[in-house]
Amino acid sequence: MNASVATPSAETERTPPVERHDGRERAPRTEANISNTERWVSVAAGSALAAYGLTQHSWRRIAMAAAGAGLLGRGITRRCPVYRAIGVDTAHPARGRNLITAIIPARPIEVERSVTISRPREEVYRFWRDFTNLPRVMQHLESVTVLDDRRSHWAAKAPVGRPVEWDAEIVDDVPNERIAWRSVRDSGLDTSGWVRFADAPGGRGTTVLAQFRYGAPAGKLGVAVATLLGENPEQQVREDLRHLKQVLEAGEIPTTEGQPTGPRAMRRRAS
C-alpha cells in the first residue's frame, strides 16, 4: 500500500479547525479524525470482510463488499464521517470527545433526601463531622481516612478488583449547622455534597437534609458511580439516612445478615 495515500498533505494540515456549537474545535472535513491504530484495524477488517464477501452469493456478496469498502476507505483516508457528526476525534484526543461520552450524554447525578432524628443537633453534627463514622451508616463506603482538619481519603466498595478511591476536602463547615465537601481535583472521582442540621418542629430532635452530587456517569466514572450508588441512587441515600437515624437513636442497625431464616439480629455500634 502506498503510504503517501494515508498521509495528510501540508495544505490539509494547515487547514484551520472549525468550532462546534459547544465551543470545542472540530477537525475540518479534509483532516484525519481517527488514530493510526484505528486506521490499521479498519484496513485489516475491511480487507478481510471484502475477501470473505467474495465467497458469498447474491446480496451477501454486495453487502459485505460495500461494508469492506467502507472500512478500507475509512482506514486509507483516516477520516470517519460518523465520528465527525458526533464530535469524536481519536487522532486529536485533546480536541474531540471519546466515543463513550459522545454516545452517552454527560449528566451529573444529584440526590437530596432528609430525615428527622430524635437526638440534639450538636450530637448529630458531631457524628457526621467525624467522617470515619460514615462507613458505619453508608453501605457503599469501605473506609474514610481523615488526613487533616479539612482533607480526607475515601474508599468505596467495588464488586470486583480494587475499591473506588478519591480524596475530598471540606469547603464549608459551620458547627451544628452545615458541612459541605467536594472531591479534590484529579482525585479520580467528581463528587461533592453538603448536609444541613436544623431543629425539628415540636422539639422532636434534628432534621438532617443531605445532598450528594456525582459527576457525569460515562466511562470509568460511570462504573464508579454505579458502584457507589447502585441502580437506584435515591433509594440508596434514603437507606443510608435511615441507618444514620438508627445508629444515633438506638446505637444499632437492624440486620438479618448471616441469619436468612432466623429472627432479626442487631448489629451493634462499634465502641
Tens digit of each residue's pLDDT (9 = 90 or more) over 55-72: 777 777 778 888 878 888
Whether residues 76 and 127 share a domain: the answer is: no
Q: Determine phi and psi for 249, rounding to 5 degrees.
A: -85, -40
Q: Which of 87, 103, 119 is the last residue of a domain?
A: 103
What is the C-alpha separation between 244 and 118, in angstroms, rounded?
Answer: 11
With beta carbons less than 8 A apart as the criterion, state whether 248 and 122 touch. Answer: no
Same domain, 97 and 113: no
Least confident of 80-84, 99-103, 180-184, 251-255: 99-103
- Quote the domain boundaries for residue 237: 109-268
| Cell triple for 220 | 470509568
pTM of the prediction? 0.54
Q: Which of 103, 130, 164 is the last residue of a domain?
A: 103
* Residue 151: count of CB within 10 angstroms of its CB: 14
The pLDDT value given to residue 208: 97
Q: Is 81 exposed, middle or buried (0-12, 13-18, 19+ CB in 10 A)?
A: exposed
Amino acid at 217: P
Domain check: are 141 and 217 in the same one?
yes
Spatial separation of the C-alpha atoms in residues 266 and 256, rounded to whole Å: 8
Taking 3-state DSSP, the helix, strand and coil percentages for the chain, each rounded to the nearest 5, stand at: 40, 25, 35
Query: Are residues 154 and 80 located together in one domain of the fold?
Result: no
Residue 160 has which C-alpha cell? 470486583
Q: Are residues 12 and 121 in the same domain?
A: no
Q: Are residues 183 and 235 in the same domain?
A: yes
For Cα atoms 185, 188, 194, give the angle at the middle one, nearest 5 degrees.
65
Between CA 155 and CA 169 the distance in angstroms is 14
- Within this chain, do residues 140 and 185 fall inside the same structural domain, yes or no? yes
The total number of structural domains that make up the chain: 2
For residue 227, pLDDT over 60 is answered with no
The Cα 159–Cα 72 span in angstroms is 40
